[in-house]
Amino acid sequence: MAPELFELKCRLKKDGYDISSAIEDSRFRLYWPEKSKATTKTAVKVKPAGNFYLSPSFGFYTELSLKQAVEYQNKNKKWLKKAEEVYNIPGVSGYIVAIHQIESNLGKKTGKKPVFNSLASIYVQGRRKKFAYNEIKEFLSLKGKLYNDYFKIKGSWAGAFGNSQTIPSTYKNYYKDFDNDGIANPYSTADSIGFTAQYLESFGFAENRKNAVYAYNHSKKYVNAVDAFAKELGRRTRARQKTNA
């Protein structure tokens, strides 16, 4: 056993979590960070973004993704409308769809690595050790509530999971049973819409939309991509409504 993994095991045991059975399981793995892959997809220039191009590196923002986002928006009108009303943030729908497009291709790509493995890997590698330890504890505290099998919840190599690519602490603080089916399911479209709306509302979406998105991901490029994509969705929605009027 690697010294860092033994250290993690001992620290968690002192805090009341015994991970012996998990790290002895044949499914336990340690990962190295994935390198970003270049893409040849064409970026889309949209208005009112002006000269800003929607980078394919953020959710493959192409005409295809815009088309499927419009379809997703229409299919989930009920939950998007409820999110705007419950959290009193008109106009949030497009931003929710844009974020879900970036994070998981609207729930189609939520990650295949067990979250426990990913977080343990971050700790063992010494990258963001404090963050990893806290998130591991949060994840372990969800046993019996979100999962029973340590390896059931899967996501990215960074430990994010579900349609919104949340981390354990954020899941605990913001995910709710938005569709009232008895569980706050991170892979549920309705629950993920409710989560994203509540998160953005808590960071002041009504006052400053870009600042709220920045709280979701501390990247200006991410913020600009979400903002531009949301505005383009709004433009297409208005154009369609005008045509059908």
pLDDT single digits (tens) 82-134: 999 999 999 999 999 999 999 999 999 999 999 999 999 999 998 899 999 99
Q: CA 57 from chain center: how many Å?
A: 15
Q: Domain for residue 162, yes or no?
A: no
Label residue 165 exposed, middle or buried (CB < 10 Å: 0-12, 13-18, 19+).
buried
Q: Domain for residue 96, yes or no?
A: yes
Q: Domain for residue 119, yes or no?
A: yes
Query: Is the predicted pLDDT of residue 232 greater than 60, yes or no?
Result: yes
Are residues 120 and 146 both part of a single domain? yes
Buried/exposed code over 50-78 (b: 16+ C-beta within 10 A; e: otherwise): eebbbbbbbbbbbeebbebbbebbeebee
Query: Is the predicted pLDDT of residue 47 greater than 50, yes or no?
Result: no
Are residues 145 and 214 both part of a single domain? no
Are residues 148 and 227 both part of a single domain? no
Are residues 102 and 118 both part of a single domain? no
Are residues 96 and 185 both part of a single domain? yes
Query: Is the predicted pLDDT of residue 62 greater than 90, yes or no?
Result: no
Domain end position, chosen among 156, 180, 212:
156
Query: Is the predicted pLDDT of residue 42 greater than 60, yes or no?
Result: no
Residue 200: give the domain boundaries.
61-110+170-244
- Choose among 210, 211, 212: nearest CA to 174: 212
Q: What is the pLDDT of residues 186-217, one digit of tens each?
A: 999 999 999 999 999 999 999 999 999 999 99
Q: Say how many domains are in the chain.
A: 2
Are residues 97 and 174 both part of a single domain? yes
* Cα–Cα distance for residue pair 99/114, rounded to 1 Å: 22
Under 8 Å between Cβ of 48 and 30: no
Give pLDDT, residue 238. 84
Q: How many residues does the structure list for the chain? A: 245
Give pLDDT, residue 67. 87
Are residues 175 and 219 both part of a single domain? yes
Q: What is the pLDDT of residues 122-178, one digit of tens each?
A: 999 988 999 999 999 999 999 999 999 999 999 999 999 999 999 999 999 999 999
Give pLDDT, residue 63. 79
Q: Pick the residue with more confidence: 189 or 64? A: 189
Domain end position, chosen among 123, 156, 189:
156
Q: Domain for residue 38, yes or no?
A: no
Q: Domain for residue 192, yes or no?
A: yes
Are residues 99 and 23 both part of a single domain? no
Give pLDDT, residue 49. 44
Q: Domain for residue 10, yes or no?
A: yes
**Res. 35 pLDDT band, cuts 50 70 90:** low
Are residues 104 and 186 both part of a single domain? yes
Q: Domain for residue 161, yes or no?
A: no
Give pLDDT, residue 50. 42
Query: Is the predicted pLDDT of residue 48 greater than 50, yes or no?
Result: no
Give pLDDT, residue 81. 97
Give pLDDT, residue 108. 94
What are the residues whose beta carbons fall under 8 Å from the beta carbon of 51, sequence distance 6 or more?
45
Are residues 143 and 206 both part of a single domain? no
Are residues 231 and 178 both part of a single domain? yes
Q: And the tokens for 108?
A: 């189609």
